């Protein structure tokens, strides 16, 4: 289970992300005792004053904390205190990875100073926080730097001028194309990139008081969104960077990771390791036990000797829409011996898809549902809304047509046009 991310070694790929769970030596030591392989210390810099309250959550369909919102900033404790606790923690847990998250104003001297002070206490690596979307951004740091490729490159370069340990650049998702800033980080000398930081968000509005959620004495502001709801966004951004040949550095995956299955997904899409925050805040540090056991069992079942072997295995399968085979076809098939006749598939198809599911009567007169396969476009909607596993299968349909992508089609059309001109 041993992992190596850009030279930062840890006993397993599970790190705590820079956030409230890594605010102090007490917490990080408790995490290491529980089994976490590494921790990115809550962002160090000039101590700030936090607000009260500062957290909010979005629940969905009975699931608590489907999404998590915060307006908390970087450390509110003196740098000297954090450095002392980092040193103490590293002495107690020499084999665990401690990465210091850093944020200062975009000035060369300030970066040089904090890097030297932090490395002097024995950290294994640095993570530059170019992602915090609130509070610090208004002061010219965090996402304010991370949204400007030139600043990402320049500040990374300043850090690399003096750094003796690996440098990870943490990127903001609040940008049109994260690969642009990832490339800038690499050009500045980054040894790795991590993504994603939190997404600009407002958790909600209290319709009775008209206050935002959260609010501070009746005033609200946008915060950072994380938790299970952001996993698809994070996974896509990791994948986009992993398949970009210009971003040829390890990726630390962050965003909605809460179990070993999520970890496998991120690693298959190119992450060398993962960072976890919201799940630990929701369930406590002990969740890592199931994550370690689950990942270990998965590797054993697959006959895979090392977790490193799965990194990026799905990346070659991740492409652009224009490369998809337009002639590949699937259709839905309903298993009436499993179907409970809730009619959700029929309603969804009739109202919002392609009207190809019929309500019929079986030989015994009981109602059954049947797909007109010749009209089914294989959109998957019926299988998605179906509440019963195994009631609807998506079946590949052999239509005897050769593979044809949009790009291939357009290239043929353009070639024919040129030939005729």
* Active-site residue identified among 132, 241, 349, 382: 132
Neighbours of 414 (CB within 10 A): 10
DSSP for 111-130 reads HHHHHHHHHTTT-SEEEEEE
d(CA 205, CA 3): 43
Half-sphere exposure of 341 (CA within 13 A, CB side): 10
Neighbours of 186 (CB within 10 A): 22
d(CA 56, CA 223): 9
Which H or E run contains 399? none
CB 76 within 8 Å of CB 50: yes
Active site residue 132: yes
d(CA 323, CA 179): 20
Burial class (CB in 10 A: 0-12, 13-18, 19+), 119: middle
Residues assigned a catalytic role:
132
């Amino acid at each position: 289970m041993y992992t190596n991310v850009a030279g930062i070694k840890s006993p397993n790929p599970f790190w705590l992300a820079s956030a409230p769970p890594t605010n102090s030596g007490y917490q990080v030591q408790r995490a290491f005792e529980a089994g976490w392989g590494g921790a990115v210390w809550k962002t160090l810099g000039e101590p700030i004053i936090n607000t009260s309250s500062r957290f909010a959550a979005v629940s969905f369909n009975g699931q608590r904390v489907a999404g998590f919102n915060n307006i908390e900033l970087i450390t509110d404790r003196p740098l000297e205190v954090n450095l002392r606790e980092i040193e103490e923690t590293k002495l107690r847990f020499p084999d665990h990875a401690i990465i210091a998250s850093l944020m200062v104003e975009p000035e060369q001297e300030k970066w040089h100073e904090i890097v030297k002070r932090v490395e002097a206490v024995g950290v294994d690596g640095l993570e530059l926080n170019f992602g915090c979307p609130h509070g610090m951004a208004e002061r010219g740091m965090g996402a304010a730097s991370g949204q400007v490729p030139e600043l990402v490159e320049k500040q990374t370069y300043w850090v690399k001028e003096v750094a003796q340990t690996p440098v990870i650049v943490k990127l903001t998702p609040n940008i049109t194309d994260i690969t642009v800033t990832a490339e800038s980080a690499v050009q500045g000398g980054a040894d790795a990139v991590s993504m994603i930081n939190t997404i600009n968000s407002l958790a909600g509005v209290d319709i009775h008081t008209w206050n935002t959620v959260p609010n501070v004495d009746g005033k609200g502001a946008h915060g950072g969104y994380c938790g299970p709801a952001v996993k698809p966004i994070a996974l896509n951004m990791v994948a986009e960077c992993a398949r970009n040949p210009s971003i040829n550095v390890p990726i630390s995956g962050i965003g909605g990771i809460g179990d070993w299955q999520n970890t496998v997904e991120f690693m298959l899409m190119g992450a060398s390791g993962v960072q976890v925050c919201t799940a630990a805040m929701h369930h406590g540090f002990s969740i890592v036990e199931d994550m370690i056991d689950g990942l270990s069992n998965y590797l054993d079942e697959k006959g895979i000797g090392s977790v490193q072997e799965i990194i990026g295995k799905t990346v070659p399968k991740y492409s652009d829409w224009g490369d998809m085979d337009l002639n590949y076809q699937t259709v839905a098939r309903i298993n009436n011996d499993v179907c409970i006749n809730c009619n959700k598939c029929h309603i969804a198809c009739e109202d919002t898809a392609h009207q190809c599911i019929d309500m019929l009567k079986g030989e015994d007169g009981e109602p059954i549902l049947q797909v007109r396969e010749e009209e089914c476009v294989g959109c998957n909607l019926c299988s998605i809304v179906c509440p019963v596993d195994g009631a609807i299968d998506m079946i590949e349909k052999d239509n005897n047509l050769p593979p044809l992508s949009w790009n291939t089609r357009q290239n043929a059309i353009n070639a024919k046009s040129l030939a005729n001109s």
